[in-house]
Amino acid sequence: MDKIDLSRFSLAGRTAIITGGSGGIGRACAVAFAKAGANIVIASLPPDSIPPVVAEVETLGVKGFGLAVDVCNDTQVKSMVEQTLAKFNRVDVLVNVAGGSYSRNPFMPAFNRAPLLELAPEDFMKAYEVNTKSAFLCAKAVAPAMKAAGKGSIINIGSISGRGTKKERADMAAYGTAKAAVMNLTIHMAQHWGPEIRVNAIAPGIIDTPRPAGTHRQELFSEAIKKISLGRAGTADEVASVALFLASDAASFVSGAIIDVNGGE
């Protein structure tokens, strides 16, 4: 019986762009990919959140590059890819982490979260701009370089909220539908950008990540955790591990997949 070739999990010599790379899941992806040998582009906001993550990945023996990018802005996104190609002459992986269910980053488009009957149309559309448009713009920007290279992997971060399989809080509807769109967009990209580019999505459940001022959400979702088969929230590293698999050659026949990382919720 042939043994599994663990070298297929390596990203040595490759370049990965991670949007939202200075946040919880983004940073975890950056560290995991760096440990696998990839050079890392941290595309994130606010600007002062970027240098610590760049420094962290460089301690792992790879090159880091930080860019302050509003991923909802087409011009800035195109510049992000141009600067990446200028520095590394390649872009092998894109992880679209940037997004959110409400505005906690003052450098990104602001929107409020509310039940549908109380939700302003502009807030509904901003949820799509921050989550869906951003993923579309970034994927579209890297696709030509990946096509030209004959290989690439795009990983979109969706959400269990986009699955529509559980009753959500009333104020999560705009976010949930935006993430559903991200996951459906993933399938279209996979169908039309192959065979060179593999496109997949991860749908995280409750992930305990730091919030502003170092706060955590543990006290906010204690009841929700009771519905999770594994009896706890997930960690950013557990999402990053799946992203690393999807980015690597170990997932060479995986495209158009949406992988739940939710502990059995």
Q: Which residues are catalytic?
A: 175
65: left (phi over 0), alpha (psi -120 to 50) or beta: beta
Phi, psi of 3 (to 5 degrees): -85, 150
Q: Which two tokens stand for residue 186?
A: 């993933």
Rounded to 10°, the helix 121-128/173-193 angle is 40
18 phi and psi, to 5 degrees?
-125, 110
Amino acid in the structure at residue 68 = A
DSSP state of 256: S
Using DSSP's 3-state secondary structure scheme, residue 259 falls into strand
8-state DSSP, 93:
E
The DSSP secondary-structure symbol of 248 reads S
Specify the residue for token string 């520095």.
87
Distances (CA, A) of 238 to 29, 40, 114, 208, 262: 10, 19, 30, 11, 10
Beta-carbon contacts of 55 under 8 Å, excluding residues fewer than 6 positions away, are: 64
